[in-house]
Amino acid sequence: MDLELNGTTAVVTGASRGIGLAITRELIAQGVRVAAGARRGTAELERTGAIVIEADLTTPDGPARFIEASTTALGGIDLLVNNLGGGGDHELPATFLESTDRQWTDMFELNFFSMVRTTRAALPALLERRGAIINFSSITARIPHTSPLTYAAAKGAVSTFSKGLAEEYGPRGVRVNTISPGPVLTEQWTGPDGTGAKFAAARGVSQEQLLRDIPCEMGVTTGEFAQPRQVAALVAYLASPLAGATHGADHVIDGGAIKTV
């Protein structure tokens, strides 16, 4: 299917691995010129053919500098994909009482405020081209008992922010949608230093055992993790003119984990 994206431009955050890397590859395969943001560039990201821009989006001025460099490199922005997020570099609190102010602040800086600042910096360019924004939330925004509360609350803020942004800027031609994945098989789960390793250590089980247990524990009907390329395909569709009437919606890709209508 021709998604009619050839010749357009996109900015993707958190592009060095996992879902962000898969999104970058898919958009480039669709003929999109991509500015890929990463704290540190990698050889794998370079090989995609994207314009790699190193930036720390968790700093107050990082997003503005990143968007300025991206706009200059691309000549304009048709699509912003706010993919950056995750559990961060600190140990995740097992309970609310064990959580600290620093953990709350860091989680919101990574998952929420980086998105707010990046969107604010990119919005003038997106308004000029009547572009689109795709923000990444999570099913934990709807079922927070499956995640540390710090992460779930930050993703809940992303969902609310996205809905309000869609209402405000939809009439001015900028489409805003949200994607809420369930468990996706990325390095966050499989890597030695990722969230999966932290969860496994906290439970006293092997990482392999954790990966077998997680889909069932999260109520995934298919019993399997989603794949990054499947999420990337959804991004490409939502970015395309074929989804021109899709606006202000949260698109769940969770293998059936959310059971409510």
Longest dimension (CA), the chain: 52
Catalytic residue among 112, 151, 161, 225: 151
Q: How many CA atoms lie within 13 A of 102 on its CB side?
A: 4
Q: How far apart are CA 20 and CA 73, in angstroms?
A: 19
CA-based R_g, the chain, Å:
18
169 a catalytic residue: no
Q: How far apart are CA 197 and CA 211, in angstroms?
A: 10
Q: Amino acid letter at 54?
A: E
Helix ranges (H only) for the chain are 18-29, 43-46, 62-74, 101-108, 114-129, 149-169, 187-190, 195-203, 207-217, 228-239
| Residues 171 and 117: beta-carbon distance below 8 Å | no
Q: Which residues are catalytic?
A: 151
